[in-house]
Amino acid sequence: RIDDTLDALNGSQWFSTLDLKSGYWQVEIQPEDKEKTAFTTGQGLWQFKVMPFGLCNAPATFERLMETVLRGLTSEACLVYLDDIIIVGRTFQEHLNNIPKVFQRLQKANLKLSPKKCRFFRKEVSYLGHIISADGVKTDSEKTKAVADCPRPETVHDLRSFFGLCTYYRRFVRNFSAIARPLHKLTEARSNFNLIEECEKSFNSLKQALITSPILTYPRTDKEFILDTDASNERTLAVLSKKIGNEECVIAYFSKSLGKPERNY
C-alpha cells in the first residue's frame, strides 16, 4: 500500500528518487508465455517479447522483481513501489553510502534508469504524488492544482475522474466520507446526471479541503499515539495523531460510510 510506504519514511532527512525507464519493458517474457500476449494487426500476428503494460498480473510480477532485487535494502536504505524507488538517509553521509548500494543492485539485475526523472540529494522531494520531507508528508501542489482547476462536472465520467483523485488523498481530509457522500451517490447514477445544490456544495468543499490540506507527520513507535474516534448511524471517523512538544500533530484521518448491513448493528 502507498500509505504504508510513506509511513516507513519516518526519521529520514535526505532523499533521492529513481525512476526505471519503461520498467515493465525491462522484464523479458518466457518463450512459452509469449503466445498469451498475442494480438493481430493488418500485418499479421504479433507477440510481445517483454512484459507489456495492461496485463492483469504485471504489477504483482514487477513488484516481486523489485523486492527480490532490493532485498535487504528496503526499509533501511530505500523503499520501492513498482518502478518508483526512493533512497533515504538519516544523515547526509548515510544517504551518500546508500545510493551506490542501490545502484549496484540495479546494475546487477540489468535494470536501467531514466536519468531525466531521477532526483538526488534533496531535503524535499516528490514521490508517489506526495511531497516528502523530514517534517512529514503533504499533497503535491501539481496534483491538487488539477483539483483546484477542475471545472464543474457535466457527466458521470467527469465526476468519477474528479472523485478518484480526491479519494487518493482522503487521508488528508477530515471526515472525507461525510463531505463526499453526495458525490459518491451521484457516481453510481446510470442516467439523469444532475449536480444538485447539495452535490455542488460537496464538490466545492472537497476542492477546498485538498487545497488547504495539512502536512501529516510520520508515525513513530517511540511516541504515544492519540486516537480520537466518533460514530453515527451513517458513518465512522477517526483521527490518529501524536504529540510533538505541546502540539498535537495529525498522522492520518480516517472515515467510512456504513453500508446497510453495518447500519443494522
Q: What is the pLDDT of residues 229-256, one digit of tens each?
A: 988 888 888 999 988 878 888 999 998 8
Query: In Å, how far are 84, 107, 171 from 70, measured between CA atoms?
Result: 12, 11, 28
pLDDT tens-digit series, residues 126-168? 999 899 999 899 988 888 888 888 888 888 888 888 888 888 8
Percent helix, percent strand, percent coil in the chain, to nearest 5? 40, 25, 35
pTM: 0.82
- All CATH 3.30.70.270 domain ranges of the chain, comma separated, are 2-123, 135-264
Q: Strand pairing of 14-19 and 39-41?
A: unpaired
pLDDT of residue 4: 82
Torsion of CA 41, 46, 52, 58, to 10 degrees: 110
Cα Rg for the chain, rounded, in angstroms? 22
C-alpha cell at 119: 532526483
Collapsing DSSP to helix, strand or coil, 12 comes out as coil
DSSP 113: B
For the cut 80, the answer to whether the pLDDT of residue 190 exceeds it is no
For the cut 70, the answer to whether the pLDDT of residue 2 exceeds it is yes
Homologous superfamily of 135-264 in CATH? Reverse transcriptase/Diguanylate cyclase domain (3.30.70.270)
C-alpha cell at 1: 500500500
Report the distance separating Cα 103 and Cα 106, nearest Å: 5
pLDDT of residue 192: 67
pLDDT of residue 189: 64
pLDDT of residue 97: 95
Does the domain spanning 2-123 belong to CATH 3.40.50.2300? Answer: no
pLDDT tens-digit series, residues 28-58? 999 998 998 898 988 889 999 999 888 888 8
Torsion of CA 65, 69, 74, 78, to 10 degrees: -100
Say what percent of the chain tops pLDDT 90. Answer: 33
Say what percent of the chain tops pLDDT 70. Answer: 97
